[in-house]
Each structure stands twice: as C-alpha cells, then as structure tokens.
Structure 1
Amino acid sequence: MYAIQWPKGFVPGFVDNFASNEMIVTGLSVADIWPLLSQPHEWPGYYDNAADVRIHDGGGPELQLGDSFHFKTFGFPVECKVVECVEAHQGEPARIAWYGESGEGDDRLEVHHAWLIENLDADRVRILTQETQNGNPAKELATSKPNEMIDGHQNWINGLVATAKSRKS
C-alpha cells in the first residue's frame, strides 16, 4: 500500500501532534470518493467539523495544486494552500494535501493535512488521512483525551464514506 509524502518540518515523530486515520471499504472506488474530498464546499454536508469553506482567487469548485482556501475546523479558522493534488491514474492513488496555518504568536498552529485514496482488489477502496501539526495548540491537542484529532478525522472519513455510498444508490 502507498504512504503519505511528508515535507520537511512535518514528518511524524518530529512534530507536536500527529493523527492518522484509515478505512478500507467495499463497494466504493476512488472515483466515488475524489469529488467529495477535492471539492471543499462539499465538506460541511458530511463533516460537522468543517465550516466557512471558501476558495480564494476565484478557484474551485475542485481544488487544484497551488489553490489557497479557508475553512474553520476544531474551532480554528485555518488558511490553507494545496501543496499536493493528484487524481488517481494508471494504478496510482489519488493524493491531496494542504499546508494550513492559524493564529499568531503563542497561539500559532501550522499543519500539513494529507489524504491518500487508492483502489484495492475485490472492489475495495482505501482512504487514509494523516495530519501533522506544530505549535502550542498542537501540543494541547496531542494530550486531549479522548483524542479530538483522531475522533474528528474518523468522523470525516465516516461521513465521506456514508455520503459516497448514498450517492451511488
């Protein structure tokens, strides 16, 4: 299986917080998942933790490499830039990732949030999302119990899968 590609400064194990969530489901494909994930205006419809989504500079509705966008998540307004955006092709997985930042000074948070979606044999799809974070808010999130990042991202995947399945039927 494929892995997330990490930029310098955001490698798991060398950051203030790391969250990883994965699901493998039958009956869906990358083609079912990609439109819901690559079009951020869709997120609030299936993920309660996404709000105020807007793509800057007339971009969209589908995110492209280099696009800047804004959304609120986990109580933070986050300004983001797409740093990886590759649709699935020739057996390779789809990938999308963004760098995000929020706050200033001691409240500054920097994140790298990546998604990898790949078709597997037997009519299955693998959805992997991982996020690394740096800054004081990340240190606080890393010690939260239950883990807000793990739970929140699992809700994102669950909503993504449920919406994709409902649109197929």
Structure 2
Amino acid sequence: MNTQNAIDWPEKYLPGTGDNFVSNEVIVRGTTAAEVWRFLIDTSAWEGYYDNVADISFPQGGGPRLADGLAFSFGTFGFPPLAARVVEFRAPAEGVPGRLSWTAEQDGTPEERLDVLHAWLVEDLPGGRVRVLTQETQIGQPAAALAQERPNPMLNGHQAWLDGLVAAASK
C-alpha cells in the first residue's frame, strides 16, 4: 500500500476552520524534490516564475533563502506586504518529504486583519515522480471575501505558483 504524506497543521489553522482554505497539488516527472526545494526556498527566484509576489524583504536580516524561524515580508493578492515567519523547515531527504510552512499576518482594523498559514510538502515518489502539495488556511474578513470570489483567486494563484515552480525546477 502506498500512502501519501500530508501537511502537519497547527490546530489554529486546521483546514475547514478558517475563512478560506485552498489545496493545490501537482505530480510530475522530469525533476526531483531537491530541485523543486531549491527554487521554493530561494525567495530571490520567486518573481522569476510567479507573478503574484512582490516586495520581498527580510526586516531582521537573513534571506534570500528561507530557513527555520526566518522573518520575511512579501506582497501578494493585492495585499500590502504581509509580515511572515517560517514555522516549519525540513529539506527533503531519502524517503522523507520536504516540509515548509510560514505564517503571515496583516494588522489593522478588523476589516483588514489577515492571519494565514501557507504550507508546502515536496516529495520524491516511485517511478521518478515528484509530488508538490501546497495548502493555505486564511483567517479574517479579507480571507472570507476572497473565498466568495469565483473562481477563487487564491486557488488559481497557488496553481500558477506550483506550475511556475515545477517549470523552473525542470529546466
């Protein structure tokens, strides 16, 4: 039996308990988890393969490569730059999926507040395949508004991120 790994969710962000949740996944040949991981954790590469991210910065230093506990900020989906922090970081290894997640927040009035957890799982599969799963839970009124749009911009945006990431890693 071949079971697939899953995202490890903190209770606060458990899928289905927030205001917006999306899940995107690709399984492809022609690259490895290590190659995908390299492009995923290097924020200086993001804008080269994903057009829905901007203004990436590291207010406490570090970067451009993500690391456990690293604080960074970035703009996406038309929001002002969100304050983010890496909360899980484990590179893929033989038989072990790569795991990356960060929280991101936007302060302000209740109408502006946003709190998210964006998680990634990157793993090699038998037969020379790679699985990349990204899921995000969002909490707040801006998230609820995004969830009502059709098609859901976050679902489509994350698919574009996955497609660009895999294309960059496959070159």
Q: TM-score range by the shorter chain?
A: over 0.9
SS in 1 for 2:12: coil
- 1:23 correspondence with 2:29: no
- 1:82 correspondence with 2:86: yes
Compare 55-64 and 5-14 and name the one that shifted more. Answer: 55-64
**What per-residue deviation string (whole Å, max 9, x for no partner) do you get for residues 24-59 of structure 1?**
001111111011101112111100001111123221
Q: CA deviation at 1:9?
A: 1.1
Q: How many residues align?
A: 166
Distance 1:136 1:3 in 2: 27
> Partner residue of 2:64?
61
Q: In angstroms, what is the RMSD of aligned CA positions?
A: 0.9
Moved over 3 A (4+): none
- In structure 1, give the amino acid aligned to 2:91: E
> Partner residue of 1:107?
112
> Partner residue of 1:147?
152
> Partner residue of 1:91?
95
State TM-score, norm by structure 2: 0.94
SS in 1 for 2:100: strand
- 1:126 correspondence with 2:135: no
Distance 2:103 2:34 in 1: 24
Sequence identity, in percent? 49
- In structure 2, give the amino acid aligned to 1:82: V
State TM-score, norm by structure 1: 0.95
Distance 2:13 2:61 in 1: 29
Distance 2:93 2:164 in 1: 25
- In structure 2, give the amino acid aligned to 1:50: V
Where structure 1 has 5 or more consecutive residues not aligned to the other structure, the ranges are none
Where structure 2 has 5 or more consecutive residues not aligned to the other structure, the ranges are none
